[in-house]
Amino acid sequence: MSDITLTELSELLLECVGAPEEGTSLDGEDSLDTPFLEFGYDSLALLQVTGVIERRHGIVLSDDAVLEADTPRLLLNMIKEAPRAGAVR
């Protein structure tokens, strides 16, 4: 199974909670270290997205871990290192 990419994370955020704040974008390497709050995504938005990731990809993240991941890079690294429960698409 491949890891979740920044592009896929961006698409999931758009699908689950809507577009980022006007004038911001999760596209490109420069967005990796930008706090999610600058995009307009709070902890509830991240919990929604990680719930979808768990259901689609079987990647299990604790709520506490998600709350610590305040940038896309941190969240993607946590996803990469997280245990897999088995995809159930």
Residue 87 lies inside a defined structural domain of this protein = no
Residue 1 lies inside a defined structural domain of this protein = no
Half-sphere exposure of 78 (CA within 13 A, CB side): 21
Neighbours of 1 (CB within 10 A): 9
Domain that holds residue 45: 6-81
Number of domains in the chain: 1
Q: What CATH number has the domain bearing residue 52?
A: 1.10.1200.10
Is residue 18 within 8 Å of 10, Cβ to Cβ?
Answer: no
Residue 59 lies inside a defined structural domain of this protein = yes
Residue 43 lies inside a defined structural domain of this protein = yes
pLDDT digits (tens, 9 = 90+) for 42-61: 999 999 999 999 999 999 99
Residue 24 lies inside a defined structural domain of this protein = yes
Residue 27 lies inside a defined structural domain of this protein = yes
Is residue 56 within 8 Å of 50, Cβ to Cβ?
Answer: no
pLDDT digits (tens, 9 = 90+) for 10-32: 999 999 999 999 989 998 888 99
